[in-house]
Amino acid sequence: MSALFEPITLRSLTVPNRLWMAPMCQYSAAPEGPAEGAPGDWHFQHLAARATGGTGLILAEATAVSPEGRITPYDLGLWNDTQTEAFRRITDFLKTQGTVPGIQLAHAGRKASTERTWVDRGAPILPGQRHGWEPVAPSPVPFDDGFATPAELSVAQIRERVAQFGAAARRALAAGFQVAEIHGAHGYLINEFLSPFTNRRTDEYGGSYENRTRFALEVVDAVRAVWPDELPVFFRISATDWLTEDESDAREGWTADDTVRFARELREHGVDLLDTSTGGNVPDAKITTGPGYQVPFAERVRKESGLAVGAVGLITEARQAEKIIADGQADAVLLGRELLRSPSFAQHAARELGAEITLPQQYHRAAV
Residue 367: how many CB atoms within 10 A of its CB? 11
Q: Which residue type, as a one-letter code, is found at position 184?
A: G
Question: Strand, coil or helix: what is 164?
Answer: helix
| Catalytic entry in 27, 74, 188, 205 | 188
Sign of CA dihedral 179, 158, 152, 266: negative
Query: Cα–Cα distance between 173 and 150 in angstroms, integer?
Result: 31
N residues, the chain: 368
**Residue 269 CB partners (closer than 8 Å, separation 6+):** 217, 220, 221, 224
**SS3 track for 223-236:** HHHHCCCCCCEEEE
Query: Does 188 participate in catalysis according to the annotation?
Result: yes
Beta strands 57-64 and 19-21, pairing class: parallel
Residue 215: which of 232, 234, 194, 198 has the closest Cα? 194
Task: Report the Cα 268 to chain-centroid distance in Å.
Answer: 20
Distance CA 233, CA 242 (A): 26
H or E element: which one contains 59? strand 57-64
Cα–Cα distance, 2 to 333 (Å, whole number): 14
Other C-beta atoms within 10 Å of 92: how many?
Answer: 12
Q: How many other CB atoms sit within 10 Å of the CB of residue 201?
A: 18
Packing angle, helices 214-226 and 256-268, rounded to 10: 30
Show which residues are catalytic. Answer: 188
